[in-house]
Amino acid sequence: MANLGYIGLGMMGGRVATRLLSKGHRVTGYNRTRSKAEKLVASGLDVAASPGAVVQAADVTFVMVANPDALRAVANGPDGFIDGVVPGKIVVDMSTVGPALSRDLAARVRDKGGQMLDAPVSGSVLTLEQGKLSIMVGGDRETYDRVKPLLEDIGPKVTYVGASGLAVSMKIATNISVAVQMLAFAEGVLLAEKSGIARATAVDVMTHSAIGSPMLQYRGPFVLQMPEEAWFNTNMMQKDLVLALEMARQLDVPLPTAAAANEWLTTARALGWGEADFAVIFRALSRASGMEP
């Protein structure tokens, strides 16, 4: 049993924390919306008053928040997780943020005698619940070796990719394909439907065809029935694509399909669907095609 902390107990973070509890670990948690943390008390979670208090209580603290501003909010200040770091503490950030921010926070943690890894995940709520989540890790190799067994309690595929910031770079690069696949899938379904094929038939054929990636197999059916609660909303997906486009500009890498997907995410947000699962990109294309969403 390990003595762990978890900061950020939203849809994914709360489920990861619950998974760690189910593996027999002690987990002290914090969420800016306290009610989300308190929901996990029945599963054995100890609720802390601040991010700093979580780090003080734990040997290894995981962080999973929505965006760079949220990460800064839980990291900085007298109650932030950096304030709680003393020599020997380990922070594992599972958020998807820019590599520069990740490296900056890791350096500040090191200055206090701790270590920080960036360890974003690839997968969804369903992937996590099926025990198939993939985790990529950047940072000090010795620290990675120490926490790898804990990461394997979360998901079976854990890959060390290199120095601080490289795991978030890898995650950003991966999420380009997630958005682009969803856009191409939506185009294909609409083209089939407008030609006279039932939408449900098109979805079934395409998700079981050569293009039926794991992501499309679980998210493709969302074009028939959107989930009540977004698995990964439009705002968050666009955040990742903007990070990718910023990286690409700095590195002189053209991202034509990412740019196209980004425009359609902007359209979806303009139509008021920023909090909906990013599969709602289908509805935006539907409306442009003169079809019922």
Give Cα separations from 77 to 4, 72, 115, 150, 279 (angstroms).
22, 9, 19, 28, 37
Instruction: Kindly name the residue from 39, 112, 171, 194 that is annotated as catalytic.
Output: 171
**Whether 194 is catalytic:** no
Residue 62, strand partner residues: 6, 92
Q: Where are the beta strands (DSSP E) in the chain?
A: 3-7, 26-30, 46-47, 60-63, 90-93, 115-118, 121-122, 134-138, 157-162
User: What's the CA gap between 281 and 155, in Å, rounded?
Assistant: 29
Residue 132 to residue 117: CA distance in whole angstroms: 21
**CB neighbour list of residue 33: distance below 8 Å, 6 or more residues apart:** none
Query: How far apart are alpha carbons 230 and 246 in whole angstroms?
Result: 25
In Å, the largest CA–CA distance within the chain is 65
Catalytically annotated residues? 171
